[in-house]
Structure 1
C-alpha cells in the first residue's frame, strides 16, 4: 500500500488524465478502500485542487478548473516537453506579446527541474538557433485562447474576418481544429452560412462575445485530418491552385517545399504529385521552379501559360554568350 503522500500524488496523476473515474476504479488502482479514496479527494480539495464528484452509477470523480491554479504534476517527458515548448514560444514570436510570459514560466520551471532533466533541456537549447524577425502574422494571445476554448467546448464562434484583400465579412462557425505551421495559426471550422468547411487565418479574426450555443461536433472533413489541414492551409484558401508532377521522389520534394507549403503524394519511386496555391500566378511559377527539379504543369491551364511566359522572359534576360574568339594563327616558320 502506498504511503499517504505518495498515494495523493498518484491519485492526482490519475485525475489529471482528463477522464471520469469511479471511486471503485480509483480504489483498485491505488490499492485502498473507497472510503480512503473519498478522504484523499478531500485532502486534494483542501490543497486547492477542484475535484468534482457526481453521485450514482454514472457518476465519478473529475479534476476541474478552480479559482486559482494549483500545482501541476508532470512526469519527466511532460516536463521536458513544456520546457522546450516555452523556449520555442519565447523565440518564435508567432503569438503576440507572449515571449515575456513564456520566459518567466520557463525560469520557474527550470528552477525545480531535476538535474538530469535540466541537462536534457539545456543540451537541446545549446545546439538550437532561432531565426527571429518581425512577424506580420503574430496572433493576439486573447484571440488564440478564445478560439481554442470554443474548439474545446464545442461552442459556435462568431467573428469578423478580413480576407487577403482586407475585405471584412461576418462569419458564424463551428470551430473544429487549430493548425500551427510554425509561422501562422489557422482555424479549420464549419462555416454555417456557407454550409462548408473553411480555414481562417487567426491574425485576421476578431472574435465576438459572447460565443454562440454549444453544437454537436460534425464528422471531420477527412479521415486523415493532418493531410486535410496541410491541403487547406497550403492550397484551398488561394485564388490559384496548382497541380504539378515533379520528376523526383516525394521525399526529395518534401525536403525542398516543407510540410505546410504543399500537399505531396508519391506517384512512384521517381515522381510525385504536388498541390499548392497562391494568389499570384507569377509567384506560383517562380516557387515551383525554385525546387531545381523538372516538372509538368497539370493545371490550371493559365499556370502553364504563365510558366511559358516566364521561361521566355528569363531566356531573353540572359542572351547566349558570344562565341569564343578564333585561335590566333600560328607564327610563320623562319626561312
Structure 2
C-alpha cells in the first residue's frame, strides 16, 4: 500500500493555481498528511491567478526532505523548458519508489527528460507533447483520457483537475476516509450524491414491530408479503415501493427499537389491528440511493453520517429505507433509497 505522510507541492511564477487545488484541499482538510509548498529558492511567487504564495521551503530543503508525493502543477514556464532544476528531485523520488503527480504543462517537463517513455501516461494533447518534448519516445504509451496512474507516476491534462485529484486519492487509498469520500462525491461525476430535500407527505399502510436486530432479520422476505396480502383484503390501492421505517435504531444487536413495515397507498381507510393506515407528515432528511446488495448498506450509511457530521446536521432517530427495486436472486440489481431524518 502506498503510504502518504508528506506531500510537497512545487510552486513557481505563473503556475496554474487551480490545477492542484482540489487535491491539496482534500488532503489538507480530511487527512493528517503534512502539505509543504516549495519554490526553487524558497522565495514568494505569484500564481497565474495572481495569488501571492509564500512557500514553506526551497528546492534545496525539498531534496533533503522525506517526501511521499510530489505534486507538479502546470504553467507556461513548464511547457517551455523551465524548472529543470527539479530533475534531480524527481529522479531521487522515483528511485525511492515515491510518487510524482504532474498535470498539464508539468507533463511536458516529465516528457522532456524521458520520464514518460516507458509508462502509460497522458497530457494535454499527444501532438503538442511531441512538439514540447522533441526527444520524447513514449507516444505508444500515451492515452487520450483525463488522468492516468501508472507505477509511481500520475499524469493529467490541464482541464482534468477533478480526475487528477481522484487519481491521487485512489493511489493512496484516501477515499476510504468517509469524510473525504463524501466531500469529493460532490465533484465526482460517477458518484451517487446525497440530497437535502424534504420527504413529502404520503399515506402509509403498515404493521408495527418492537424488535431488535435478530428479530428484524427474521422479518425479511416474510413481513412485506403479508402487507401486500392485507392491503388487498382492506381494499387499499398500493402506489409505491415497500418501505421499512426505523425509530431509534442505533445499529446495536440488542437494542429494542420500533420498526414499521408497509406500503404507500392512495388513500386512508379504516383497518383492524395490528394494522395501521395513516397519513405520514413531511420531514426534513438527507437521502441517498444505495445500489447493490443489502450487506453493503452500512457503507452508504457511513457516507451519509459522515456527511451529516461535515454539514453539522443531527439525525432525529427516524430513518426510512424504500426498496425501489429488489431481487433476491440477483441482489446486485437492488436499488434502496435511504432517508435519514434531521433535527
Structure with more relative contact order (C-alpha pairs < 8 Å, separation 6 or more): 2
Higher Rg: 1
**Higher-helix-fraction structure:** 1
**Higher-strand-fraction structure:** 2
Alignment TM class, shorter chain as reference = under 0.3
